[in-house]
Structure 1
Amino acid sequence: MPRSPSARPTASRLPWLLSAALLAGCASYHARPLPDQAGARRAADLAAPAPPSWLPAHRFDPSDGLDVTEVATLAVANNPDLRTQRDALGVARAQAFDAGLLPDPQLGAGMDFPRHSGPGLTSAFNLGLSADVTSLLLRSSRVAAARQQARQVNLDLLWAEWQTVAQSRLLFDQVQALRARQRELDAEQRALTPLDAHVQAALRAGNLTHDQASSGLNALADVRQQRADNALALHQAEADLHQLLGLSPEAPLSLVGTGYDAMPTTAQVDAALTTLPQRRPDLLALQAGYAAQEASLREAIRAQFPAITLGVNTARDTSAIYTNGFSVGISLPLFNRNRGNIAIARATREQLRDDYRSRLLAAHGDIRHLQADLATLDARLATLAVHAQALDAARRAAEAAWARGDLDWPTYLSLRSNALAADLALIDLRQQRGTDAIALEALLGNTDLASSPADRKAATP
Structure 2
Amino acid sequence: MQLTAPVASMPTLALPDHRFDPSDGLDVTEVAMLAVLNSPALKLKRDELGIARAQAFAAGLLPDPQLSFGEDFPGHTGAGTSIAYNLGISEDITALLTRSSRRAAARSQADQVNLDLLWAEWQSVAQARLLFDQVLTLRAQQARLTAEQAALAPLQPFIHAALRAGNLTYDSASAGLNAGADVRKRLADSTITLHQAETDLHFLLGLAPSAPLALVGTPYQASPTPQQAQQALADLPRRRPDLLALQAGYQSQESKLRAAVLAQFPALSVGFTTARDTSNVTTHGFSIGITLPLFDRNRGNIAIEKATRQQLKDDYEARVLDTRSNMQQLVADLATLTRQRAALADHAQQLDAARRAAEAAWQQRLLDWPTYLAIRSNALTADLDLLDLQQQQATQAIALEALLGNTDLATAHPVSVKAATP
Q: What is the rounded CA distance, in whole Å, between the counterparts of 2:294 and 2:12 in structure 1? A: 56
- Matched with 1:7 is none
- Matched with 1:423 is 383
Indicate conservation of the 8 Å contact 2:253/2:308, yes or no. Answer: yes
Structure-to-structure mapping, 1:19-418, within 5 angstroms: 41=1, 44-50=2-8, 51-57=10-16, 58-418=18-378
Corresponding letter in the other structure for 1:428: D
The offset of 1:411, in angstroms, is: 0.9
Q: What is the rounded CA distance, in whole Å, between the counterparts of 1:267 and 1:403 in structure 2? A: 53
Identity of aligned residues (%): 66
The offset of 1:120, in angstroms, is: 1.5
TM-score (norm 1): 0.86
The offset of 1:110, in angstroms, is: 0.5
Q: What is the rounded CA distance, in whole Å, between the counterparts of 1:210 and 1:84 in structure 2? A: 60
Deviation by residue 1:47-77 (Cα, 9 ceiling, x = unmatched)? 4434435444422121221111110000001
Q: Using the TM superposition, name which of 182-191 and 344-353 deviates more.
A: 344-353
Q: What is the rounded CA distance, in whole Å, between the counterparts of 1:113 and 1:47 in structure 2? A: 71
The reply on whether 1:436 has 2:396 as its aligned counterpart is yes
Corresponding letter in the other structure for 1:226: R
Corresponding letter in the other structure for 1:296: K
Q: Secondary structure in 2 aligned to 1:252?
A: coil
Q: What is the rounded CA distance, in whole Å, between the counterparts of 2:172 and 2:12 in structure 1? A: 64
Q: What is the rounded CA distance, in whole Å, between the counterparts of 2:192 and 2:160 in structure 1? A: 29
Corresponding letter in the other structure for 1:271: Q
Q: Secondary structure in 2 aligned to 1:152?
A: helix
In the alignment, structure 2 segments of 5+ residues that lack a partner are 410-422
The offset of 1:45, in angstroms, is: 2.4
The offset of 1:84, in angstroms, is: 0.9
Q: What is the rounded CA distance, in whole Å, between the counterparts of 1:346 and 1:306 in structure 2? A: 21
Indicate conservation of the 8 Å contact 1:200/1:217, yes or no. Answer: no
Indicate conservation of the 8 Å contact 2:12/2:118, yes or no. Answer: no
Q: Secondary structure in 2 aligned to 1:337?
A: coil
Deviation by residue 1:197-221 (Cα, 9 ceiling, x = unmatched)? 1111111121111110011111111
Q: What is the rounded CA distance, in whole Å, between the counterparts of 2:185 and 2:153 in structure 1? A: 14
The offset of 1:350, in angstroms, is: 1.1
Indicate conservation of the 8 Å contact 2:88/2:273, yes or no. Answer: yes
Corresponding letter in the other structure for 2:402: A
Q: What is the rounded CA distance, in whole Å, between the counterparts of 1:279 and 1:45 in structure 2? A: 32
Q: Secondary structure in 2 aligned to 1:324?
A: strand
Q: What is the rounded CA distance, in whole Å, between the counterparts of 1:355 and 1:191 in structure 2? A: 57
Corresponding letter in the other structure for 1:335: F
Q: Secondary structure in 1 aligned to 2:252?
A: helix
TM-score (norm 2): 0.94
Q: What is the rounded CA distance, in whole Å, between the counterparts of 2:83 and 2:117 in structure 1? A: 62
Deviation by residue 1:398-424 (Cα, 9 ceiling, x = unmatched)? 111111221111111011000000000
The offset of 1:367, in angstroms, is: 1.0
Deviation by residue 1:253-291 (Cα, 9 ceiling, x = unmatched)? 011122223211222111111110000000000000011
- Structural RMSD (CA): 1.3
Q: What is the rounded CA distance, in whole Å, between the counterparts of 1:221 and 1:48 in structure 2? A: 49
Q: Secondary structure in 2 aligned to 1:439?
A: helix
Q: What is the rounded CA distance, in whole Å, between the counterparts of 2:224 and 2:408 in structure 1? A: 9
Change (3 A) 1:364 1:244: same
The offset of 1:223, in angstroms, is: 0.7
Indicate conservation of the 8 Å contact 1:134/1:308, yes or no. Answer: yes
Deviation by residue 1:142-187 (Cα, 9 ceiling, x = unmatched)? 0010000000000000000000001111111111111011001100
Q: What is the rounded CA distance, in whole Å, between the counterparts of 1:59 and 1:428 in structure 2? A: 31
Indicate conservation of the 8 Å contact 2:5/2:33, yes or no. Answer: no
In the alignment, structure 1 segments of 5+ residues that lack a partner are 1-40, 450-461
**How many correspondences in the alignment?**
407
Q: What is the rounded CA distance, in whole Å, between the counterparts of 1:49 and 1:448 in structure 2? A: 15
Indicate conservation of the 8 Å contact 1:48/1:73, yes or no. Answer: no
Q: What is the rounded CA distance, in whole Å, between the counterparts of 2:314 and 2:12 in structure 1? A: 32
Q: What is the rounded CA distance, in whole Å, between the counterparts of 1:49 and 1:251 in structure 2? A: 22
